[in-house]
Structure 1
Amino acid sequence: MGGTQSLALQQGKGPHQVGCTDVMVGHTWQGLLLRLFYPCLPQGGAEQPLWIPRYEYCAGLANLTLLSCSAPLISLALGSCRVPVSWNGPFKPCSTGYPLIIFSHGLGAFRTLYSSVCLELASWGFVVAALEHRDHSASATYFCTAEDGREEWIPYQQVPQGQKEFYFRKKQGSIDLSRVTVMGHSFGGVTAVLALVKEPRFSAGHPSCCRCAVALDAWMFPLENALYPEVTKPVLFINSEKFQTPESIAKMKRLSSRNSQTKIITILGSVHHSHTDFTFLTGKLFSLIFGARGTLDPYKGLEITSQAALAFLQKHLNLQEEFAQWDNLLEGIGDSVVPEAPFCHPNL
């Protein structure tokens, strides 16, 4: 099987220990399911949650890779992997309140597949709500009915034959946001950008403290041209080296031309799934199946991503932390990072 499969996630490098719990709101597909990562009090012998919480998610991943027969294999190999956080750990009180990040997953993912970046940001003093979308963009998700608590599962949906992908995808990914900032990967990255326009509490002039977005390797395709002038808040685009196209970068630059605080950087040696937990799988088989590994060490990639995000959030959320030490990353200055994209960078 290409060596023993395991998930080599590390504990957060920030000053806080991290707890997590699942939250379900509402008894229909219009409700919310999310995994909450937060600073917690130390707890000896704390239980660590499963990375893939249910077998149905293994089946969803198998269908997504068009290897439906591999669901038992995925479950056998990865079903016992755990995340190094304290399950339902006691919340650590904070007199000033923790800033909130709402994380939107990519197509075919679900709430736990970005645990590495979520727990890292939580360790630096954020509450991170990793959503699981019920619009058929998750590989699988569910809700519990109010009548008898029965589970209703919602599968991932491919683009129907005869429909254009742009018009199909742009209807998905709508989220009900509350405050602070929104972050996402791939399809979730462009959802984060759209949230700055579509969510009234993120719009210019609203008294809310929602101020910016962080987009990890955003799939810019579903963003309508008519919406570009409406994106007035700053966005940090953190791209991989092997996913973006000149056309996609041009769309990001269109936003940065309207707001000097919008930044575009690329992590060299990374691939699209370098922003997911798949990059931390130690065995070769599933790394190949999910295309999870670039040439850059995955821990270095996570460090660049989290430090750049922290520096950006300090600027736009008026945080009184020491995250400004990583401001150079926002200009694409540092080891394994460049501004914009390699094909846009004059020195490469």
Structure 2
Amino acid sequence: MFQFTSTSLPEYEGPLRVGSVVIETSVPEELRCQLPSIEHEMKTVKLRMFYPLLPNKDVRRRKDELWLPFNEGVPQIAKGFKWWMIRACASWFSKTSLPVYDGDIYQDSSRNVYSSLCGNISSYGIVVLALEHRDQTAIISTVRDPADPDDKGYLLQYHEIKDFYSDSTVALHKDRFFFREREIQLAMKMIRSINEHGVPSLDTAYSCSADPKLYTRLFESLKGRLNTTKGEILLSGHSFGAATCAYITNSSTPSLNHNYLHREEYKCAILYDIWMFPVRQLNIQKIRYPTLMIISYEFHRWTDNYEALKTWLLDRESESQIGQESAADKLDIVSNEKTSHVFVLNGTVHANQSDLPILLPSMVLKILKGKVKADPYEAVKINTRSSVQFLRENGIKIQGENDPDCLRSEVIPGWEKII
């Protein structure tokens, strides 16, 4: 028997309250893509937008969407002995609501799994877009085209890789990276439309999880208040999402208006537990921006992945050359003088970058081989503090006090700079 120690996510750490809304937009015909390794055409883009609220406004909880997407269906991957508990818990977690509020504004996951991290960062005055990728890496996703009122939608299931070293897997990774980059471009098109026009799109249909009166006021209140300038956008990802960020920084894909390359949109990057296998498999080059990398203790001890990360970052083509370089020279992630960091928090596992250790019972985590030793609340707090301070040090104007200690090694117990 096990106990559920939490039925809701903790309050956010920053000085501002946070609201969120799920937005699904139709993709224009000329921007849709159908790739050989992905089983469906890109018809819509779906994301959860976290936004900061005015601190002096009265707020109330909404329950228009729940944390676990099992109300959309049970994933096919949820089978076999170690998954039976996930099925058993589905009805319980369908009752767990996100800390979502109404108010005027101030790889096997879903759009909600990183709610604590995204919401915490938003509570410092940043609008965060958490995409639900439709490249069949989400545990489950429902596609409903807002352009068709009669569309009942269809389910996309997680596609498991059987042979990581096959040519088909290389092709799959290439297609997924391209697919994801297009989704991110369309999300940026949406947020720019909100900033310029006060609506997610002028030429395509969209739907939202909130009451129309709410999201109409929300989008109008965001109009003209977002910094969507080229070279000022922040890029972040976890695991395969972090590898996607590395891909985008080296991509030659043009922006949707074709005036410049898509990779020129970004100011800096934050990567959590980057999965190095597809990075090395596709020979992706080093990241071009100031970068913060947070590695879980589990990934630090995963020798193959960590050695691949060091080789990638330090560019170990000759040991003699490495011996002549300083530690600062070795960390040549970026082509400018901005500082980059790689940190690890002792006792953490891959799931600590998400909400899972907070909401899932410890027995379930053990069955899924996620033996968490670090306090999951502290892990999210340190991830947030360091991420926010990194943005602050890279010129992002955000709320809260300067917090330089969180980017120093071993000032926080167990928090160590490793490269």
TM-score (normalizing by structure 1): 0.81
SS in 1 for 2:236: strand
Of the three residues 290, 309, 312, the one matched with 1:248 is 309
**Given the alignment of the two structures, is residue 329 of structure 1 paired with residue 382 of structure 2, yes or no?**
no
| 8 Å contact from structure 1 (residues 235, 263) kept in 2 | yes
Structure 1 pair 39/320, CA: closer, same or farther in 2 (3 Å)? closer
Query: For residues 192 and 25 of structure 1, what CA distance do their matches in structure 2 show?
Result: 22
Structure 1 pair 247/209, CA: closer, same or farther in 2 (3 Å)? closer
| 8 Å contact from structure 2 (residues 276, 308) kept in 1 | no
SS in 1 for 2:393: helix
Task: Kindly report which structure 2 residues correspond to 1:90-105, keeping only aligned pairs within 5 A, or say none.
Answer: 90-93=103-106
SS in 1 for 2:312: helix
Task: Kindly report which structure 2 residues correspond to 1:166-315, keeping only aligned pairs within 5 A, or say none.
Answer: 166-173=170-177, 174-175=180-181, 176-177=184-185, 178=188, 180-198=233-251, 200=254, 210-224=266-280, 226-228=283-285, 231-244=287-300, 245-254=306-315, 256-259=331-334, 261-281=339-359, 283-315=361-393
Query: For residues 110 and 275 of structure 1, what CA distance do their matches in structure 2 show?
Result: 13
Per-residue deviation at 1:80?
1.0
Instruction: Extract unaligned runs of 5+ from structure 2.
Output: 28-40, 189-227, 301-305, 316-329
How far does the alpha carbon of each residue in 1:27-61 deviate from its partner, in whole angstroms, 9 at most, with x for none? Answer: 66342100111112444442244211443464356
Query: For residues 71 and 268 of structure 2, what CA distance do their matches in structure 1 show?
Result: 36
Per-residue deviation at 1:66?
6.9
Paired AA for residue 83 in structure 1: L
Per-residue deviation at 1:115?
0.6
Per-residue deviation at 1:14?
1.1
Of the three residues 20, 27, 36, the one matched with 2:49 is 36
Per-residue deviation at 1:280?
0.3
Per-residue deviation at 1:253?
3.7
**Given the alignment of the two structures, is residue 163 of structure 1 paired with residue 141 of structure 2, yes or no?**
no
Per mean C-alpha deviation after superposition, the further-off stretch among 286-295 and 160-169 is: 160-169
| 8 Å contact from structure 1 (residues 273, 293) kept in 2 | no
**Given the alignment of the two structures, is residue 46 of structure 1 paired with residue 61 of structure 2, yes or no?**
yes
Query: For residues 138 and 6 of structure 2, what CA distance do their matches in structure 1 show?
Result: 23
**Given the alignment of the two structures, is residue 80 of structure 1 paired with residue 155 of structure 2, yes or no?**
no
Structure 1 pair 68/303, CA: closer, same or farther in 2 (3 Å)? closer
Query: For residues 74 and 243 of structure 1, what CA distance do their matches in structure 2 show?
Result: 27
How far does the alpha carbon of each residue in 1:228-256 deviate from its partner, in whole angstroms, 9 at most, with x for none? Answer: 15x32122110001123322333244483
Structure 1 pair 196/207, CA: closer, same or farther in 2 (3 Å)? closer
Structure 1 pair 166/339, CA: closer, same or farther in 2 (3 Å)? farther
| 8 Å contact from structure 1 (residues 281, 287) kept in 2 | no
SS in 2 for 1:227: coil
Per-residue deviation at 1:167?
4.3
SS in 2 for 1:50: coil
How far does the alpha carbon of each residue in 1:195-248 deviate from its partner, in whole angstroms, 9 at most, with x for none? Answer: 22226569999896621110011112111464315x321221100011233223
Paired AA for residue 228 in structure 1: Q
Paired positions, count: 323
Per-residue deviation at 1:125?
0.7
Identity among equivalent positions (%) equals 23
| 8 Å contact from structure 1 (residues 29, 143) kept in 2 | no
Greater helix content: 2
Paired AA for residue 172 in structure 2: F
Paired AA for residue 311 in structure 1: Q
Query: For residues 67 and 29 of structure 1, what CA distance do their matches in structure 2 show?
Result: 32
How far does the alpha carbon of each residue in 1:241-272 deviate from its partner, in whole angstroms, 9 at most, with x for none? Answer: 11233223332444832436221111111111
| 8 Å contact from structure 1 (residues 19, 38) kept in 2 | yes
Query: For residues 76 and 320 of structure 1, what CA distance do their matches in structure 2 show?
Result: 38
TM-score (normalizing by structure 2): 0.68
Paired AA for residue 312 in structure 2: K
Paired AA for residue 133 in structure 1: H
Structure 1 pair 204/266, CA: closer, same or farther in 2 (3 Å)? farther
Query: For residues 51 and 124 of structure 2, what CA distance do their matches in structure 1 show?
Result: 10
Per-residue deviation at 1:322?
4.9
| 8 Å contact from structure 1 (residues 265, 331) kept in 2 | no
Equivalence for 1:96: none
Paired AA for residue 301 in structure 1: A
Query: For residues 316 and 201 of structure 1, what CA distance do their matches in structure 2 show?
Result: 23
